[in-house]
Amino acid sequence: MQYKDDITYSEAIEQVMLHNEYFAPLKLIYKEIWKYKDKLKITGLTPHMTIQERVQRDKRFTRIGLGVYALTKHLDKLPKVIPPKTESEKKERLHAKIQGMLIEIGNNKNEVEDTYTNDKKWVFDNKTLGSLATLSEIPPFTYENIINETVRFFDVIWFNKRKFPLKIFEVEHSTDFRDAFVKFMELQDIRAIFCCVSFKDRKEKFKKELSKNAFEPLINRCEFASYEEVENDYNIAISKTFL
């Protein structure tokens, strides 16, 4: 890697965003900035704090989410949110919204090292989910066939520092949860928490399906979260941080 001797933190952050659809979450900036700036020449002990200070104070960056910043001069290039016209489009929009919030919440947690989503092209608040997540591919933490046939299709995954799944989410808008449970069962030997997200009035349906013998290994490991709870957690996180 050839570095420019005089490149500043702001210039390096700008490069990360230019290569990530004109925006980036802080967690991705922390990882990608060293492609453009020589880490061996950094004398300070807290480069993350320096990065945070730059995105907050440099006018070339604008906050567009929970710990997510965009290039101010390129805000017009961010994906436009088109009002849904059909029930199918409304369903997809809600699905993308919840997934986007889950990704941003995960990126804002210290115990979460990386985030992943299968629906990379969907848009949440002018941000594509694929560029909001820090991973584009699943780390090889288990057998290749399980990753290719099941894991890569999960809606959202939070990974820990060892690249193992920490928490796996399936957003279940109208199904009976069985498909999600079957997918979760494939990872019953992995120490991860499973979570179904849906309308709050579907919690009893979730509990009824989960109680079936076929899904016994999931009973104490699978949670339910309502859309309202996810939105509330997201809004609280936004209000508590300036990042």
**Tens digits of per-residue pLDDT, 16-45?**
999 999 999 999 999 999 999 988 877 777
The domains of the chain, with CATH numbers, are 9-77 (1.10.10.10), 87-240 (no CATH)
Q: Percentage of the chain surpassing pLDDT 70?
A: 96
Q: Are 61 and 8 in contact (CB under 8 A)?
A: no
Q: Are 14 and 24 in contact (CB under 8 A)?
A: no
SS3 177: coil
Question: Which single residue is written with the structure tokens 């279940």?
Answer: 172
86 has a pLDDT exceeding 80: yes
Q: Is the dihedral of CA 111, 207, 97, 243 positive or negative?
A: negative
Q: What is the mean pLDDT of residues 1-25?
A: 87
The pLDDT of residue 2 is 53
pLDDT digits (tens, 9 = 90+) for 99-147: 999 999 999 999 999 999 999 999 999 999 999 999 999 999 999 999 9
SS3 150: coil
Structure confidence at residue 232 as a pLDDT band (50, 70, 90):
very high
220 has a pLDDT exceeding 90: yes
Cα three-residue angle 39-44-47, rounded to 5 degrees = 60
Query: What is the rounded CA–CA span in Å between residue 66 and residue 234?
Result: 8
The model's pTM is: 0.94
Structure confidence at residue 84 as a pLDDT band (50, 70, 90):
confident
Dihedral angle of Cα 96, 97, 102, 104, to the nearest 10 degrees: 110
The pLDDT of residue 100 is 98
Structure confidence at residue 3 as a pLDDT band (50, 70, 90):
low
Structure confidence at residue 5 as a pLDDT band (50, 70, 90):
low
Closest to 182 (Cα-Cα) out of 213, 214, 155: 214
Q: What is the mean pLDDT of residues 186-198?
A: 97
